Structure 1
Amino acid sequence: MPRRSADRRIKWMILLTPTLTIGLWEYVRHVFLLPYMSMEMGNFLAPFIVLGVTLTLVRGLFARLEQSQAELQRERAVSGALEEREKLARELHDGIAQSLFLLAVKLDKLDRTAAEGERKVLEMSGELKETVRVMHDDVRQAIENLRQPPTAAEAAWVVPLRELLEETAGVTEAEAEFRWTIKDEALSNKEKVELHACLREALINVRKHANASKVIVTGEPEENGGFRCTVEDDGVGFSGDPLAVYGRFGLRMVRDRATRMGWTFAAERRADRTVVEIAKPGGRRS
């Protein structure tokens, strides 16, 4: 409701600004400027004054209205996604979970009715009950996960990064770890595109050259709107300046992208790991 009220005020200001501008201009012209300006000159200047106000004040109002509408659309999308997750959770609970519970009850009844000499029946019943219990626990966990809001690592633009990390780990037979806590709304669309491209190139570089047994991707928020992202691996590393190696363009592309965005870039050996780090200083939004 507060957002709708603010949007309504902006729309009224957009509608009234040209009228108020003309009214104010006519008042000033007749009260203060009439001895110095002819009617023809005043009429000639009026549309230019309205145009000037439109290009400044009204244009700014339109920008605020568009931003508010975009934020409203994002909120609706998130709300719709949460509603779908809740609906799916209800369907799992009302269907599969209850069916599994009923099956477990029937297996317990089978145990009670089986004769003590029917050992194989009892053994099979026990195995089935264990399987049902595991499935039931998995479904309950899935329901619980669906009812929780999506985490920062589940943002739509972050998912391909996690998938690329898992793919890289699969190709190199390495262990993968994904630690992502940067909230989706903390980054502009441009920042998401550029950061995704930087981390993707760093991961491809690991796949091609590192021969690593462990790869870690980290995204952490910093104070005042900044962030720090790293791609770490325990592979063969590099000697000297990795940006000066002939025929290697990947890290140089990452550095150039980060520099254009006003971010910091580092590629270095730390202890037994190679670390590519991209960081945005706090206090500014690209």
Structure 2
Amino acid sequence: MSDRKRFPVLLVEPDPESRLQIMQILSLEGFQVDTVETVAQLMDRDNWSDYFLIILEHELPDGRTDELLPRIQHLAKDAELIIITSRTEVQNMILAFRNEIADYFIKPVDNELLRKSLQRIRAEQVVSSKLRQTQAQLNAIVEAAIEAVITINRRGMIHSFNPAAEKMFGYTASEAIGQNVSMLTPQPIRENHDHYIAQYLETGISNIVGARRELQACHRNGTLIPIELSVTDLPQFEIFAGIIVDISERKQAEQKQAELTRAVAVAAQRERRQLANILHDHLQQLLIGVRIHLGIARKEAHSESENLTLARADELLNQSLEVTRSLTAELNPVVLHEEGLALALEWLAHNMLERYNLTVTLELDHAVSPQAELTKIVLYECIREVLFNVVKHSQATHAHVCMHPVSDQDVEITVTDEGVGFDPQHLETHQSDAGGMGLSNIEFRLSLIKGKFRLESEIGKGTVAHIIVSKDAGEPESQ
């Protein structure tokens, strides 16, 4: 019978009548029973792990069992204890329950109460056994895991610390277990860690439990480690389990990628400036030279038709010069590099009116205008692209650009129009015919200087583009 095999009981009772009564109840419940009558017989055994329950008479012929409770509990770690006694002293009962016994009966024992107690203990033992089995399996998985796995109790004390955690943090398991997990966190998180746990247990709300977060942890030597943390609440074990991944290599790769992207963007801008210089220093000069020779040729023209042809050629040359001047200014607005962002935006406003009939009013705080070369270039190009999108999509004839501080370090630039607007939930990335750079590229370019981009719009009520950057973002480009 499975119950007999799974739930053996050790009955320690010297009185024959009482022993028979209890054995009958145990038999009816289907338990396998071993019996002993003395302390000597009780302690003379090596199969403590077999028993799920030990029923102890308080006084035996050769000693008292209450004095043996701690030792018995140590030997039979998985067994529950029931005390049966003829004594009615309250202090004996208190002492027994302080030793975490399962139940306490005064003789004569009530059969029904004992039967219900046995049924309750057996049910709890089934659950406990399954939990121990699950925990053993979990421990085996955790010990073999590549990732660092740490479990803590409800008070934040470390319950387990696997080999991968030892390698990551520099502590041995024996050093870490029993310590507050805040030892692995940097300041100021360390000071508030226990409060976070208490708040979660009270409200059930947490930014960490049930989520995956990138944080910093603290190595034994004080070094900060970038980590990805996933925390799960295991209420059946009354613990939290955290899976920790060291993302140092990933962060280094992201940093290198960002630096490479930044270098490419700077190199592209340098190429644009070189192309603008070629247009200005060579092509424009050649066109001006041709125009001079045309002027000479017109003076020497022999017929009206020759003069008209040369005049038409001169007109086309003028248009070509205008195009090259405009292209040179767009590729590399000299005023941006020599005078700064604010004056470059004034030139851009003039250019938008002249070329696209868009009136741009400016409200610029010159005191907060960024000075770093890359920052100036990125902001100028992003603002220009937003204005191109106003021309293309908003059906507005007026836009307003405002630059103002939002903190000691950050500057916000807003571009506002009162056009047709759009539903932000159905926003699609547009490619601007004028600028060749869509809204997604605005976000990309701003990421080079750790800037932020946000659009606010409502159908029929226009659009506001928000650009926020640090005044100190970007490194000055060598000239």
Structure of greater Rg: 2
Question: When the two structures are superposed, what TM-score results if normalisation uses the length of structure 2?
Answer: 0.28
Write 1 or 2 for the structure with the bigger share of strand: 2
Indicate the structure whose relative CO is greater, using CA pairs within 8 Å and at least 6 residues apart. Answer: 1
